[in-house]
A = this chain, B = another copy of it.
Amino acid sequence: MNILIVLAHPERDSFNGALVDVAMARLQEAGHAVELDDLYRDNFDPVERASNYPMDSAADHFSPLAVQRENYKQGSLPADVQREIARLEWADLVIFQFPLWWHAQPAILKGWFDRVLVYGGLYSGSMRYDRGYFRGKRAICSVTTGSPEQAFMPFGRAGNMVEWLWPMHSSLYYVGYEVLAPQVHYGVQGGGIQYQEEAAFRARLVSMEEAWASRLAGLAQESPIPFSTWDDWDENGVLKHSHPLRWRLS
């Protein structure tokens, strides 16, 4: 497989960075081609705005979707967006490695969605969900949290990880990806905050790296998170049989 790792952490020498190293080494050993897409290293600009585009297409009124579509058609998308799209077209599997900041991905990765997944190119009204541009490809989030696992348990104070990742998972499915269950690394020390003794903490980081490494070998065989599909919706985009389960039992 061709595997792209998208890293969104401001410090390469971090636990997020170490998880990338583990994944790259393990996946390359297994014979895969692996590329690292380090958004901070590349100084990726996450803000969608008129100045990203040639003057003539932005005109004097900036309407993001219209401008995305026009520039996709004309082949005049910003260079960094073109580079990201080429990486996605190359990859059979995309791994997103990031810390959970404010119940979501860091802004640099949120804006990667805003700018790279261009309307009229990578999605349209009829090219979405299971008819999405990237259908047949897979994606997975590998996420670190500051709070310990206990706080994220059902009824825990830090909330439910399924809910925090639901917007991003839904966005990946929107453009056709099969989304795998996330790998969550809980209670990672964030800047002088320590939840346990240093030695025990180090040992736990190692065990999280090992858990991640051992899962990687089977990613191509895992069952993705089930989502509703076009066949499930009526002509108004509502589930045909309004059953109480969001995720189909398959």
Which residues of A are at the interface with B, using a C-beta cutoff of 8 A? 10-11, 13-14, 40, 46-50, 61-69, 101-108, 110-111, 113-114, 117, 119, 125, 129, 146, 150-151, 153-159, 163-164, 166-168, 170-171, 174, 190-193, 228, 233, 236-239, 242-243
Whether A238 contacts B102 by the Cβ 8 Å rule is: no
For this complex, 12 residue pairs linking A to B, each with C-beta atoms less than 8 Å apart, are A10-B50, A40-B47, A47-B106, A48-B106, A69-B191, A69-B192, A101-B113, A104-B104, A105-B110, A106-B114, A151-B238, A156-B238
A107 touching B151, Cβ below 8 Å: no
Contact among B104, B167, B237, B242 for A157, CB-based, below 8 A: B237
Q: A66: which of B10, B156, B191 is its contact (CB, 8 Å)?
A: B191
Rounded to whole angstroms, the CA-CA distance of A229 and B64 in the bound complex is 40
Task: From known contacts A171-B102, A191-B119, infer whether A10 and B113 are also in contact, taking CB-CB under 8 Å.
Answer: no
Query: Quick one: which of B69, B158, B239 contacts A237, CB cutoff 8 A?
Result: B158
CB distance from A33 to the nearest CB of B (A): 28
- In the complex, what distance in Å separates the CA atom of A102 from the CA atom of B111? 9
Closest to A165 in B: B167
Q: Would A10 and B107 count as touching, CB distance under 8 A?
A: no
Whether B103 pairs with A156 at a CB distance below 8 angstroms is no
Task: Decide if A237 touches B156 in the complex (CB within 8 Å).
Answer: yes
Contacts of A47 in B (CB 8 A): 10, 40, 46, 106-108
A103 close to B171 (CB less than 8 A): yes
Q: Measured between C-beta atoms, what is the minimum distance from A164 to chain B in Å?
A: 6
Q: Which residues of B contact A243 (CB under 8 A)?
A: 155
Contact, CB under 8 Å: A103 / B170: yes
Chain B's closest residue to A67 (CB) is: B191
Q: Which residues of B contact A154 (CB under 8 A)?
A: 242
Pick the contact of A65: B62, B114, B117, B146 (CB < 8 A): B146
Measured CA separation A108–B163 after assembly (Å): 22
Q: How far is the CA of A50 from the CA of B41 in the complex (A)?
A: 12
A62, B168: Cα distance in complex, Å: 26
Question: What 10 A-B pairs have minimum CB-CB distances, sorted nearest first?
Answer: A107-B111, A66-B191, A65-B191, A157-B237, A63-B191, A103-B167, A46-B107, A155-B239, A102-B113, A66-B192
